[in-house]
Chain A
Amino acid sequence: MASSTSKGELIMDTTVNSGRRKLLRVGGTSLLSATAVALLAGCERMASQAQAQTNPAGDVQILNVALGLEHEAISAYSIAAGSGLVSKAVLPVAVTFQGHHKEHRDALIATIRKLGGTPVAAKPDAEVAKALNAASLKNQTDVLRLAQRLERGAANAYLGVIPSFSDKGLAQVSAKLASDETGHWIVLSQALGDALSPKAFYVG
């Protein structure tokens, strides 16, 4: 799997190209909900109306945890790309996924700032590599397994925080982020040859 184009890589590439076309039609901050879009667009009146019924400080805490998760994902894909373990066929997919995470990061940073918070900073890649035990990765399958685990964890994390948001608009944003991460997880699972869960409600 590490050296040649495999069936898994082809499935991954085809799936991602299809997903990328759809994402290009969406793009940037349009991934955010009405409330978040209002915040990002500088519509202060609408934003203040939304905030009046919410707990922005609590929401900022949750958004900052999400931002930490996106920072880590961006680093993880950089570490994977620089590991020498990822084939040329898979590398563009990793770059695409990393691009999604960068869009998530940018949207989260903008929203946190609009809500009056301070975005958490990214950790150095070396620190992330140590925390993820990247030194143990020996081949492309190991890399894909790590990415698969992180993407599933991220999808579930975004779903698990939904009840905690005081702003329903931000809860919807969290669901959208979870959907993106689920897409990544499914593509990675297909590339690894994992069967889809026979039971429903397999995310969350």
Chain B
Amino acid sequence: MDTLLACAVLAGQLCFGPQLAANDVNRGKELWEARCTGCHSLEANRIGPLHRGVFGRKAGTVPGFSYSTALKNFGQTWTEASLDKWLAAPGQFVPGSRMGFAVGDANDRSDIIAYLKSVSGR
């Protein structure tokens, strides 16, 4: 009931349930800065490839970054769905890839992805 009431105030939009609540880009930025910047920057390749533009980019194609063979051959473009699977369990989604860092919480993943989308001009 509370959820329905909360949804009802969203400018008259239809309520599809809490699972479709808008992603929080600001929270995603905080999560990204806390969890991802050990290896990644927006503008420079470091331990991992630069993140600006990652959303919508074909995997394994940042110039100047040395990818694993697995990721170079992956062939997919990074979307909400593929990034979600990647962040949930990178080694399972792309076996042979180097990244072992996983984000276990689905809400955290969706907010991080929303932030990455926002910095990718998408």
Contact B102 A160 (CB under 8 A): yes
Q: Complex Cα distance A164/B97, Å?
A: 12
- Among the listed stretches B13-21, B39-47, B76-84, B113-121, which one makes contact with chain A, having 4 or more residues with CB under 8 Å of it? B39-47
Category for how many chain A residues contact B: 20 to 34
Residue of B nearest to A160 (CB): B101
- Among the listed stretches B1-9, B29-37, B52-60, which one makes contact with chain A, having 4 or more residues with CB under 8 Å of it? B29-37
Question: Per a CB cutoff under 8 Å, which of B33, B39, B41, B89 touches A65?
Answer: B39
State whether the Cβ of B104 lies closer than 8 Å to any Cβ in chain A: yes
Q: Shortest distance in angstroms between B60's beta carbon and chain A's nearest beta carbon?
A: 15
Q: Shortest distance in angstroms between B105's beta carbon and chain A's nearest beta carbon?
A: 10
Contact A69 B47 (CB under 8 A): yes
B103: chain A residues within 8 A (beta carbon):
160
Contact B99 A131 (CB under 8 A): no
Contact B102 A65 (CB under 8 A): no
Take A58-B91, A65-B47, A131-B44 as given contacts and tell me if A163 and B35 are in contact as well, using a CB distance cutoff of 8 Å.
Answer: no
State whether the Cβ of A147 lies closer than 8 Å to any Cβ in chain B: no
Q: Shortest distance in angstroms between A121's beta carbon and chain B's nearest beta carbon?
A: 11
Contact B91 A164 (CB under 8 A): yes
Contact B45 A131 (CB under 8 A): yes
The DSSP consensus for interface residues of chain A is: helix
B96: chain A residues within 8 A (beta carbon):
61
B44: chain A residues within 8 A (beta carbon):
130-133
State whether the Cβ of B38 lies closer than 8 Å to any Cβ in chain A: yes
Q: Shortest distance in angstroms between A186's beta carbon and chain B's nearest beta carbon?
A: 14
Contact A61 B100 (CB under 8 A): yes
- Among the listed stretches A1-9, A92-100, A108-116, A148-156, which one makes contact with chain B, having 4 or more residues with CB under 8 Å of it? A148-156
B37: chain A residues within 8 A (beta carbon):
149-150, 152-153
Residue of B nearest to A58 (CB): B91
B46: chain A residues within 8 A (beta carbon):
72, 131-132
Q: Complex Cα distance A30/B46, Å?
A: 29
Q: Complex Cα distance A65/B101, Å?
A: 10
- Which B residues fall within an 8 A CB radius of A? 33-39, 41, 43-48, 68, 89-91, 96-104
- Which A residues fall within an 8 A CB radius of B? 58, 61-62, 64-65, 68-69, 72, 130-133, 149-150, 152-157, 160-161, 163-165, 204
